[in-house]
């Protein structure tokens, strides 16, 4: 089954 990604994978820390 597909796995839950986290937002850090897409959005950079500021």
Partner 1 sequence: MLEARLEQASILKKVVDAIKDLVQDCNFDCNDSGIALQAMDNSHVALVSMMLKSDTFSPFRCDRNIALGINLNSFQKVLRCAQNEDILTLKADDSPDVVSLVFESSEQDRISEYDIKLMDIDQEHLGIPDTEYAATITMPSGEFQRICRDLSALSESVAIEAEKNAVKFVCNGDIGNGAISLRNHSSVEKPEQNVNIELSEPVALTFSLKYLVNFCKASGLSGSVKLCLSNEVPLLVEYELASNSYLRFYLAPKIGD
Distances from the Cα of 4 to the Cαs of 8, 9, 10, 13, 14, in angstroms?
12, 11, 13, 19, 23
Work out how close the CB of 5 gets to partner 1 at its nearest, in angstroms, rounded to a whole number.
Answer: 4
Instruction: Considering only residues 1 through 14, tell me which ones interact with partner 1, judged by CB under 8 A.
Output: 1-14
Contacts with partner 1 by CB under 8 A: the residue count is: 14
Binding residues for partner 1, per CB under 8 A?
Answer: 1-14
């Amino acid at each position: 089954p597909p796995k839950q990604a986290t937002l850090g994978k897409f959005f950079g820390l500021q």
